[in-house]
Structure 1
Amino acid sequence: MGVADIATDDFEVRPPKQRRSREAWNRVLDAGVMLLEDGGYEAFTIAAVCDRAGVAPPAIYARTSTKDALFLAVYEHGIARLRAEHAVFADVDRWAGLEPAELVRSAVAEMVGISLRHTRFLRAIVLTSAAHPEVRRRGSRYSRELGERFAKVLRALAGTITHDAPEAAIRSCFDTLFAASMIRVAYGPAFATPVPVDDQRFVFDMGETAVRYLLGGQYAPSGSTLPR
């Protein structure tokens, strides 16, 4: 039976109620994230999670009865760390007073930077999602959530964006940058280019690409060299 054949009820996790049980469960979730970061889905087994977390199997089976339910609980635990960083897009002070080009560069740096800071975890998730419909469904929802936060910041530039449909341009910009980031995360910096660049240069290039696409030639690039 494949993942697509598993009933939704099999993904259920019974939350712990006592403090010691919660602490043990958090160790399980942390251990699961580390296993995915170290070895991907292939390394993720209930036995390996127990060993890494220092708990006996009953600590897991008291919460869930399947590997996939445990995997999805670990997935949500890891994704919660990324989503916490999305809060920067709701921080009004972070974006106040920025010139249009700098606003675009900063929004891109925040968005791309979140993915790059969590590369090891996201690599396992992206590669797993191709064969795991539930991960793909949840990943799509969270990606759209990030896209909306990114778009909300850039909507302040609607009158400056050099497109007849600013909203569509912002969405297209996000889709392009997000796709490039996920390819880099999943397959590494050398996958699509014979001249790979480091993460700092990648973020810089994505920012300049977004400025040119959204604002046209009216704003000079931030420079040919990276800021120190």
Structure 2
Amino acid sequence: MDDDQHAILVETRLVPQQRRSREARARIMSAAEELLRNDGVEAFSMMGVAQRAQMPVGNIYRRFEGKEDLLLALKELVCARIRNGIAQSVLAHGPDSMETFVRCFADAVGKAFAHDERLNRSLYDQRLVSPKMIESGQAARGSIFGLFADGLGPYLSHHPSVRADAIAKVAFSIIMNAAALKVRDNDAILATSSWDEIASEFGAAAVLYIQSKF
């Protein structure tokens, strides 16, 4: 057998294995997501995920170091989903004014967090707090802020860049901090407000703050 034939044989063997590995990982992630969504943090375990995925628990440990590693991968997946949902909503709307952009962004944030709220709430559970989970959340928040700052930038062009960045940070925090408090479900005041009300009222508050800086 020459080198080319050997390379082709190796490739045909590896591709299905790679595909099976990707499929197994996706199956594990789907099972982990379902378990956390339906049964909460207290019921989440590697064995529970294995049972949901209908595979030996050893298969999961071959792909994830442990429970925290799996939860971290799940949080990164969900954060990316939220970020992409916000980006698609904002880009699809095509806002033509500062107020329209900010309100559109706030509405997109509300919808992203409200979708699959039980899963999002579980990932914000204080029992999952760890340095790696905090770092992952901060990275996701930074990425979402980038979307907001880029969209708001043209309306703050009359300010020096440092000042414009500071205004964007405060306006962003008005919206995102309200969403974070709402999804954690540990704020008695916001607990009685719907996601639509959160998006509308805090979006309006962010608009008023920015207008005060014009």
In structure 2, the CA distance between the partners of 1:136 and 1:90, relative to structure 1 (3 Å rule), is same
What residue number does 2:4 align with? none
What amino acid sits opposite 2:123 in the alignment?
I
Query: How many percent identity over aligned positions?
Result: 25
Q: Does 1:192 align with 2:192?
A: no
Mapped partners of 2:170, 2:213: distance in 1: 18
Are the counterparts in 2 of residues 25 and 59 from structure 1 also a CA contact under 8 Å? no
Counterpart Cα distance in 2 of 1:160 and 1:200: 32
Q: What is the distance in 2 between the residues matched to 1:192 and 1:216?
A: 29
Distance in structure 1 (CA, Å) of the matches to 2:123 and 2:56: 26
1:138 is displaced (CA, Å) by 1.0
CA distance in 1, matches of 2:40, 2:191: 27
Amino acid at match of 2:145: G
Query: Is contact 2:182–2:191 with CA below 8 Å preserved after alignment?
Result: no
Larger % of helix: which? Answer: 2
What is the distance in 2 between the residues matched to 1:83 and 1:195?
Answer: 23
Structure 1 or 2, whichever has the larger Rg, is 2
In structure 2, the gaps of 5 or more residues are: 1-15
* Aligned match of 2:93: 94
Please say if residues 106 and 203 of structure 2, whose CA atoms lie closer than 8 Å, have aligned partners that are also in contact.
Answer: yes
Q: TM-score, normalised by structure 2?
A: 0.78
Let me know the Cα RMSD of the aligned residues: 2.9
Specify whether residues 87 and 146 from structure 1 end up closer, same or farther in structure 2 by C-alpha distance, changes over 3 A only: same
Moved more, 128-137 or 48-57: 128-137
Q: Is the 8 A contact 1:33 1:78 kept in 2?
A: no
Cα distance in structure 2, aligned partners of 1:65 and 1:217? 49
Contact 1:108 1:203 in 2 (8 A): yes
Mapped contact 1:105–1:207 kept (Cα < 8 A): yes
Residues 109 and 203, structure 1, Cα contact 8 Å, conserved in 2: yes
Q: How does 1:30-45 map to 2 (within 5 A)?
A: 30-45=30-45
